[in-house]
Structure 1
Amino acid sequence: MAEPEATTPEAPKTPAIPQLRILGQFIRDMSFENIVSRNGSNGAVTPDVQVQVALDAKKRGEGQFEVTAKFNITSKNKESEATLFVLELEYGGIFAIENVPDDQLHPFLMIECPRMLFPFVRRIVSDVTHDGGFAPLNLDTIDFVALYRQSLQQRAAAQKASEAKPN
């Protein structure tokens, strides 16, 4: 008598692990304006630094994306409100991304990719401000998750406002 064939249950498929590689990174545009040296300084300066960040992503090819982080950094004297310097920096990266579901790709591009670029941006900002005659500016860590959520809220509010307008 033959023994019945043993059936093995199929192993559950494990989802593929998302992969992210930086293929290249570059300064697309940079401008540093040392206004205090041009206009002169009157005594002690207490800097107040404002940092604005904007992110953009676009597809370059199959599995490749370009992400650009735009930083606008302005330093003003707290007492006089006089601008000390303005630094504008567009820093980009080209990324190979695999195994990220389509519904998660946008947040992945706008959170994880800028997070990978940020240490390089921080170094550039520090070097440029130091070479420009100021104390090196060491940017605080940016919460790209909060920045992404804020962007979604702004988009939703703009869409709601456009829908509410009578034609």
Structure 2
Amino acid sequence: MGDAWPTYKTIRAGDKTLNAAPGDSSEQHVALWYVHGEPVMGRIWNNNGKVAAAFGWNGKAFVDNIGSIQVLVDLPERVRGYDYHWRPWSDAAVFDKNARVFYPVHVDQVKGNISPCLLTLPNGKEALGKADIRNERASAVVAGKDERFEGPAVHKFLVLCRKPKPGQKFDE
């Protein structure tokens, strides 16, 4: 655990309290961590006023003492030209720029296009982790283990996207 919990509004997984696995917080917020130059989306939660975190990378779970991270802030309505939406994988995986309505929040990197992802596991439990939309992969730390999914198994998950407000558009 590290710094004091932020006083600003952060992006909460699914905009709801999750049905998390035993031992995992049900209040999960989007965070980004870099390991060896590779972006890893994961989660933070409030642990008695301190930031606690969990990130899965390369099949390993990194929990609590992570180091430097970035937290996704929910900017005030009046200053942003978009709204956040947790959308089905199929809405996020639209690669035709002319057909796209929802734009995944992402970090594009040579190994993949990494986005925040809300996974619903086979047992019904939920966890915030990461999606690699380009390569159809998703993972999240669940009960201290990096749970990984590939191919069609990822299509039921939700990806954090942005949708431009009327009169706004994203540069691509």
Alignment TM class, shorter chain as reference: under 0.3
Of Structure 1 and Structure 2, the greater strand share is in 2
Q: TM-score, normalised by structure 2?
A: 0.26
Specify which structure has the higher proportion of helix: 1
